[in-house]
Structure 1
């Protein structure tokens, strides 16, 4: 059974392979795709939280929409973002990722007491599953 996500704490992700990213975010992490396209996909990551996955190199130009212009943006290299999880979900996530053959690349216990599991998506972006307490605005 897939452990529960509490939402996105930090976000910024660009990928080269939209299909591999879609499979990872839907099949492995269990996020619901709300919008899918060649340029971007949007995933429901919790109440009022959205993960945007942009196709690297396809978002540099401004985009005109009926509501206004969306400024162009892009990045190179690997990005990082974190999902909030409750402390009782840390072990289930560790077990689930191992079962799904997703490598945990690092585990960290933070000075405030929170714990993180780090893993990569198919493009090498660094994802973090993190428990409170971590930041002053993320306490249990």
Structure 2
């Protein structure tokens, strides 16, 4: 057995309102769920991006809760990479800079065996300090 895809990815944030504004207004993701003070979820392609208030996810659900999701979470900044073509990366870089978002790095990865050229990545930070990347799938040989 092998999983066929990643359905959801989670990042932990320190300010849900700032995170919601960034991911909806800057990245243009569609919000699909929100629980005030706990989480906000966004659709991203065929997957879902979960943004959690890290402190709120440390506590187990109340006995008899409708959704008995166990405690989870992490401390510190995480990382998430969005898939993008070379042309989309150019457009994302211009869009992000126009929104006042600093690009931390912009570079070409070394080519994989059999590739003439490696893929490109750009890196930035969300309001909670999470590392976000836009990269060509060929950095992984896709």
- Which range, TM-score by smaller chain? 0.7 to 0.9
Q: Is the contact between residue 8 and residue 48 of structure 2 (CA under 8 Å) also seen in structure 1?
A: no
TM-score relative to the length of structure 2: 0.83
RMSD between superposed Cα atoms in Å: 1.9
Q: Deviations over 1:75-134 (max 9, x none)?
A: 111110111011221111111111111000111311231111100000100000111201
Residue 30 of structure 1 aligns to a residue in which SS?
coil
Residue ranges of structure 1 left out of the alignment (5+ in a row): 1-7
Partner residue, 1:52: 50
Q: Is the 8 A contact 2:7 2:48 kept in 1?
A: no
The structure where helix makes up a greater share of residues is 2
Residue 133 (structure 1) aligned with residue 131 (structure 2): no
Question: Equivalents in 2 of 1:115, 1:9: separation in Å?
Answer: 24
Q: Which structure has more RCO (C-alpha within 8 Å, separation ≥ 6)?
A: 1
SS at match of 1:93: helix
Checking the alignment, whether the CA contact within 8 Å between 1:9 and 1:82 is kept in structure 2 is: no
More strand by share: 1
| Maintained 8 Å contact 1:10/1:81 | no
- Aligned partners of 1:45, 1:99: CA distance in 2, in Å? 22
Cα displacement (A) at 1:69: 2.2
Equivalent residues of 2:8, 2:49 under 8 A apart:
no
